Structure 1
């Protein structure tokens, strides 16, 4: 490992340069990294890269899922819960079933159980790829929320299908009632363990004498504890991390200081940036090794099977998107839905086209055991691996490169379900200023005339500005008053974020971030 250390340092530098190039070319960096990894793998004399499945599942997956849960809006997740759950569970199962049937019919030597193994691997779309691509185009907030929410849940459902299929291949049978009980335990146990560990860590942050450094380390440790504990209990580690992460993200202002939130945000941004870059580069680097292990099957035949499965996935997701719209239009006559309006033909097509595959599919494929318990070679393992890599490449290149163009060409209808960013910004600033004035006039009414500093604070909020700093020399008492104002504003913002459905969560989080910055700056002033 030490002999190859300079290679991995060089690889990290190359990743940074490629991401900068991707930004310059306005191409999503996962696409550039996969292509570059594939090209680099053909350079003679370089160390051969072999990815251990535990490296992806245990080291990479928990923090990536955890960060995604923290970045996801609970309000939006709940608002679009029906379509998110349908895509994350129903569509994933139907996709896996479609892949299993097609593979069983068209690929020689593929049993239905092996088809479900492949289906479980390739059924979940990758949110990292979609999010990276959507940054270059203007899309409705609802689409981003649906894609983010779906990606949090579909990893768990696809891996559950994958595990049951592995058992069926190993034993040659599938007992439905045992599978149902096992499925129930994996789901409920994963959710329960994730929430329980999340609650324990939340109390640890709140009750122990932690500082920002300790808080950040604890947040990095948390997803690993959740994942490993759930897996040891034979539950879904993915669901544990997702549910525990959502709990802590929703309660972050109750147990983390503004300093911990600010510093933790920067640390996590850098950590996830590096992890994502490494994973997508490794995808390209690993492909030649998988190709070399195809055995007797010709490369052209294997590529053909990969393209066939890719077509099944792309077409199936588009049909599922239109099916979801149709079901919603029917269901709106009987139940309350998030939006009763017809989204038209453009929205489901673009939602269906946003189904790039990535990290989880790679990890699942690599985790297929080389041998069964009886010592025999796992059937079609290398072909499954190769098809998975072809699917990742095809969906990233074909869908990833064309999605921004299609969005610009086709466009989305104007849903009008969120305030424009500039209007929302102005509204929030006015309301925060109003809250500050109300707090001053209510709590310090008797001191407003005699206290010069309080007069300055009143003047500040009357002019609705957040840029003027308080005096450089500020007394401890006035600091307390200013901090109380910030806390009043933060409380108001959190409450109204949940009440106002048309208020974009991203804008709310931006203003919460500004309040944390203001509190941090105030702590540095003399007094």
Structure 2
């Protein structure tokens, strides 16, 4: 009963934090408000949540990574794959090695393996935290796409490095060759399992629905279970459950487009996942704040045991770690952009160097968040011999300090760096959108021609169906001429059911045509999903009219 009450209390705290973040005149980012509220709960209510690291990781991380993979713009990820992979893999490994050695030098009493674990914990960035702090200074789309892709992949690479560091601490040994083979197995098997589990579940559900019918609640529940199925299946064979969850989300984009799920179900499913994302991230930040007072006390004791007396050494440690992370990130981004510029100038003499503010903004946007805390809390409580895990509370405190500092830095620096900065817009988006609307309108006309003959067959008044179809075709031809949106209904009461059925068939043909273009790589997946959502709303409205 106590755990249920505590969960409800945490959910209430998330709701209150969301309301408070909108009421505050300073427009503080929601994560900072949630952390402050959690700290207040911990100090006033003396609430202490004892978290099982494995359970905490299982419940919170897979759905968040799955959703990141599901919603990240795929075409932008492919277009900027060089920058994304550099940040997500190269920068993570550099951070783990460089910061691990630096932290061990800074805190000699912290074992080297634990220092590497801390470096791995603070290496992943959090796009949700970045978007929260950038509300007053919207991040340019291409820059945000790179940050999202980085966060998706470095979540996986960072947490895999955490696993290796923990294993080294528990066993007392580390082999580079064995680690390389293990990493390859964990990565390849994790991705394969994530894609395979998603495809198998979605295909099985679609086959069952075609034969026996389907319902909205069942489809939504299946989507909620997929990340956990992928994660547990991968962990069972000692692969990366983190990569499996992320790969499952990416695969969901493509399998979901062909699964035959009703438009109303897709709309409700998006709403459920929006709520889940808000809740899980909120709970993590509230838990972070709730644990800060107790973690501070224990970390202070750890610092005292190292020979220092003043608790201000904790602030010095946090400042040094944040500064080290900032220097590494700025240096990596600068070098990456210089190399990119060098390659571009080989093909285009007019290529110009990006403003230094962009480099600084990319560095300041590396805010840490939910995944960093989740990784810190997964450190085991004890070693194999039963002794306490060395410096665990200090690691959690330093990781918490990095989260807070990075959020504050991003909240203050990003609006200043991005103010008045004009970047060239993405080219080709408008043309691709027009092409998609053109192709979908032609598909709708073809479907209307087919449906009118099918509906009029054997009827006494076939001209009635022909007239309705002709009127709808004219509307789509008007769209082709002007690329206008679908006009409002212009039909009599008696013909309304017929026109509704024809419109519904045409809208579904449009959606199929748009996703056919995406599958043939003629338009981007992101654009297809945007247009698909518009058509889903029309589909849902027409379907409700048919049930009324």
Same fold (TM over 0.5): yes
In the alignment, the residues of structure 1 paired with residue 512 and residue 206 of structure 2 have an alpha-carbon distance, to the nearest angstrom, of 18
- The answer to whether structure 1 residue 78 and structure 2 residue 93 are counterparts is no
User: Aligned to 1:384, which of 395, 398, 407?
Assistant: 395
**Where does residue 8 of structure 2 map in the other structure?**
9
Question: Which residue of 286, 293, 301 corresponds with 2:291?
Answer: 286
Distance verdict in 2 for CA 1:177–1:319, change over 3 Å = same
From 229, 233, 240, the equivalent of 2:233 is 229
Q: Distance in 1 between matches of 2:524 and 2:134?
A: 17
Residue 444 of structure 2 corresponds to 436
Contact in 2 for aligned 1:140/1:412 (Cα 8 Å): no
Q: Distance in 1 between matches of 2:223 and 2:347?
A: 39
- TM-fit CA distance, 1:254: 0.5
2:369 pairs with 338, 358, 378, which one? Answer: 358
Alignment partner, residue 102 of structure 1: 102
Residues paired across the two proteins, number: 519
User: Which residue of structure 1 aligns with residue 29 of structure 2?
Assistant: 28
- In structure 2, relative to structure 1, the CA distance for the partners of 1:115 and 1:335 (3 Å cut) is farther
The question of whether the paired residues in 2 share the 8 Å contact of 1:186 and 1:234 is answered with: yes
CA distance in 1, matches of 2:519, 2:416: 34
Say if 1:296 and 1:138 are closer, same or farther in 2 by CA, change over 3 A.
Answer: closer
Change (3 A) 1:301 1:286: same
1:313 corresponds in structure 2 to 325
Contact kept? 2:133, 2:407, Cα under 8 Å: no
2: distance between equivalents of 1:511 and 1:145? 19
Aligned to 2:247: 243
Any unmatched runs of 5+ in structure 1? none
Compare 45-54 and 386-395 and name the one that shifted more.
Answer: 45-54
C-alpha separation in 2, matches of 1:391 and 1:418: 39
Q: Deviations over 1:498-519 (max 9, x none)?
A: 7889x78655433211211222
1:509 aligns with 2:508: no
1:213 is displaced (CA, Å) by 1.3
Deviation at 1:435, TM superposition (A): 4.7
Residue 451 of structure 1: SS of its match in structure 2?
A: helix
Q: Say which SS state the counterpart of residue 51 (structure 1) adopts.
A: coil
* Partner in structure 2 of residue 299 of structure 1: 311
Q: How does 1:108-257 map to 2 (within 5 A)?
A: 108-209=108-209, 210-255=214-259, 256-257=261-262
Between the aligned partners of 2:327 and 2:379, the Cα distance in structure 1 is 26
Work out whether residues 139 and 412 of structure 1, in 8 Å CA contact, stay in contact via their aligned partners in 2. no
CA-to-aligned-CA distance 1:443-495 (integer Å, 9 cap, x gap): 86998897221133124324434251375655877555433322332233334
Aligned to 1:414: 424
Equivalents in 1 of 2:470, 2:99: separation in Å? 69
Q: 1:260 to 1:340 in 2, by over 3 A?
A: farther
Report what 2:540 is aligned to.
Answer: 520
For residues 52 and 290 of structure 1, the distance between their equivalents in structure 2, rounded to whole angstroms, comes to 16
Report the 3-state secondary structure (helix = DSSP H, G, I; strand = E; otherwise coil) of the residue aligned with 2:43.
Answer: coil
Taking the aligned partners of 1:213 and 1:326, their CA distance within structure 2 comes to: 51
- Could you tell me how far 1:135 is from its partner in structure 2? 4.0
Structure-2 residue corresponding to 1:405: 416
**Structure 2 Cα separation of the partners of residues 429 and 227 of structure 1:** 38
CA shift for structure 1 position 189: 1.0
Q: In 2, are the aligned partners of 1:474 and 1:525 still within 8 Å (CA)?
A: no
| TM-score for both structures, normalised by structure 2 | 0.86
Q: Are the structure 2 counterparts of residues 475 and 353 from structure 1 closer, same or farther at C-alpha, using a change threshold of 3 Å? A: same
How many angstroms does 1:148 deviate by? 1.2
**Aligned-residue CA RMSD (Å):** 3.0
Q: Could you tell me how far 1:220 is from its partner in structure 2?
A: 0.6
Q: Which runs of 5+ in 2 are unaligned?
A: 304-309, 457-461, 480-484
Distance in 1 between the 2:264 and 2:405 partners?
43
TM-score (ref. length: structure 1): 0.89
8 Å Cα contact 2:66/2:246 also seen in 1: yes
3-state SS in 2 of match to 1:243: helix
- Whether 1:41 aligns to 2:42 is yes
Distance 1:498 1:135, change over 3 A: farther
Alpha-carbon distance in 1 for matches of 2:193, 2:327: 37
Note closer, same or farther for the CA distance 1:476–1:60 as it changes in structure 2 (3 Å cut).
same
Tell me how far apart the structure 2 counterparts of residues 130 and 470 of structure 1 sit (CA, whole Å): 46
Partner of 1:452: 467
Given that 1:318 and 1:349 are in contact with CA atoms closer than 8 Å, whether structure 2 keeps it comes out as: yes
* CA deviation profile, 1:7-64 (whole Å, cap 9, x unmatched): 5434433322321332344432112211222233221x44223333234311111111
Which residue of the partner structure matches residue 461 of structure 1?
A: 476
Decide which of 270, 273, 282 is 1:265's aligned counterpart. Answer: 270
User: Aligned partners of 1:3, 1:110: CA distance in 2, in Å?
Assistant: 36
Query: 1:491 aligns to what?
Result: 512
Distance of 2:538 and 2:246 partners within structure 1:
31
Summarize the Cα distance change of 1:138–1:369 in structure 2 as closer, same or farther, 3 Å threshold.
Answer: closer
